[in-house]
Amino acid sequence: MSVTNQRLRVGLTVGKQWWRRVLSPMSATSGHRMASSSANFQLKPFKLHKLDESPDTEVTLNRDDALKYYREMVTIRRMEAAANALYKDKTVRGFCHLYSGQEAVAVGLENSIRKTDAVITAYRAHGWSWIRGVSMIGVLAELTGRRLGCARGKGGSMHMYNDNFFGGNGIVGAQVPLGAGIALAQKYRGTDGLTIALYGDGAANQGQVFEAYNMSKLWSLPVIYVCENNGYGMGTSAERAAASTDYYTRGDYIPGLWVDGMDVLATREATRFLADLCRKGKGPFVMEVATYRYHGHSMSDPGTSYRTRDEIQEVRQTRDPITSFKDKIISTDLVTIEELKDIDNKIKKEVDDAVAIARSEPEIGAEELYGDVYMI
Partner 1 sequence: MAAKKPLELSRSVQHFTFNPQTPSTKSGDTTRMNLFQAVNNALDIALTNDPTAVIFGEDVAFGGVFRCTVGLQDKFGKDRVFNTPLCEQGIAGFGIGLAAAGATAVAEIQFADYIFPAFDQLVNEAAKFRYRSGNQFDCGSLTVRAPCGAVGHGAMYHSQSVEAYFAHTPGLKVVIPRGPIQAKGLLLSCIRDKNPCLFFEPKILYRLAVEQVPVKDYMIPLSKAEVVVEGHDVTLIGWGTQVHVLHEVCQMAADQLNVSCELIDLVTVLPWDKQTIINSVKKTGRVLIAHEAPITGGFGAEIAATIQKECFLNLEAPIYRVCGYDTPFPHIFEPFYLPDKWKCFDAIKKLINF
The length of the chain in residues reads 376
* Segment contacting partner 1 by CB under 8 A, of 8-16, 111-119, 150-158, 330-338: 150-158
Residues 11-70 that bind partner 1 (CB under 8 A): none
The secondary structure element, H or E, covering residue 12 is strand 7-13
Q: Interface mask (CB under 8 A) for partner 1, residues 255-294, using x and -? A: ----------------------------------------
The only residue of 240, 280, 282, 349 in contact with partner 1, by rule CB under 8 A: 240
CB of 366 or CB of 376, closer to partner 1: 366
**Distance between CA atoms of residues 81 and 373, nearest Å:** 33
**Distance between CA atoms of residues 228 and 195, nearest Å:** 15
* Segment contacting partner 1 by CB under 8 A, of 15-23, 36-44, 110-118, 359-367: 359-367
Pairing of β 256-260 and β 47-49 = antiparallel
* Segment contacting partner 1 by CB under 8 A, of 24-32, 104-112, 256-264, 368-376: 368-376
To the nearest whole angstrom, how small is the minimum distance from the Cβ of residue 271 to partner 1? 25
* Segment contacting partner 1 by CB under 8 A, of 75-83, 147-155, 340-348, 350-358: 147-155
Binding of residue 373 to partner 1 (CB under 8 A): yes
The only residue of 234, 324, 344, 348 in contact with partner 1, by rule CB under 8 A: 234
CB of 114 or CB of 154, closer to partner 1: 154
Q: Is 39 helix (H, G, I), strand (E, B) or coil?
A: strand
Count of residues that interact with partner 1, criterion CB under 8 A? 39
- Residue 82, Cβ density class (10 Å: 0-12 exposed, 13-18 middle, ≥19 buried): buried
Residue 73 CB coordination number (10 Å):
24
Q: Interface mask (CB under 8 A) for partner 1, residues 87-106, using x and -? A: ---x--xxx-----------
Residues 292-321 that bind partner 1 (CB under 8 A): 300-301, 305-306
Q: Is 116 helix (H, G, I), strand (E, B) or coil?
A: coil
**Distance between CA atoms of residues 348 and 38, nearest Å:** 27
CB of 104 or CB of 312, closer to partner 1: 312
The only residue of 135, 208, 229, 291 in contact with partner 1, by rule CB under 8 A: 208
**Distance between CA atoms of residues 137 and 193, nearest Å:** 29
Compute the half-sphere exposure of residue 198: CA atoms within 13 Å on the CB side of its CA: 28
CB of 141 or CB of 221, closer to partner 1: 141
304 contacts: CB under 8 Å, gap ≥ 6:
296, 312
Binding of residue 241 to partner 1 (CB under 8 A): yes
CB of 56 or CB of 368, closer to partner 1: 368
Q: What are the strands, taking DSSP E only, across 154-243?
A: 195-200, 223-229, 232-233, 236-237
Nearest CA to 176 among 157, 156, 196?
Answer: 196
To the nearest whole angstrom, how small is the minimum distance from the Cβ of residue 88 to partner 1? 14
Cβ atoms of 300 and 293 within 8 Å: the answer is no
Taking 3-state DSSP, the helix, strand and coil percentages for the chain, each rounded to the nearest 5, stand at 40, 15, 45
To the nearest whole angstrom, how small is the minimum distance from the Cβ of residue 369 to partner 1? 5
Residues 117-146 that bind partner 1 (CB under 8 A): 145
**Distance between CA atoms of residues 147 and 106, nearest Å:** 26
Binding of residue 229 to partner 1 (CB under 8 A): no
215 contacts: CB under 8 Å, gap ≥ 6:
177, 180, 221
Q: Give Cα 187 to chain centroid, integer Å.
A: 24
Cβ atoms of 143 and 358 within 8 Å: the answer is yes
* Segment contacting partner 1 by CB under 8 A, of 238-246, 315-323, 336-344, 350-358: 238-246
Residues 167-186 that bind partner 1 (CB under 8 A): 170-173
**Contacting positions for partner 1 (CB under 8 A):** 90, 93-95, 145, 153-156, 158-159, 170-173, 202-203, 205-208, 233-236, 240-242, 300-301, 305-306, 363-364, 366, 368-370, 373
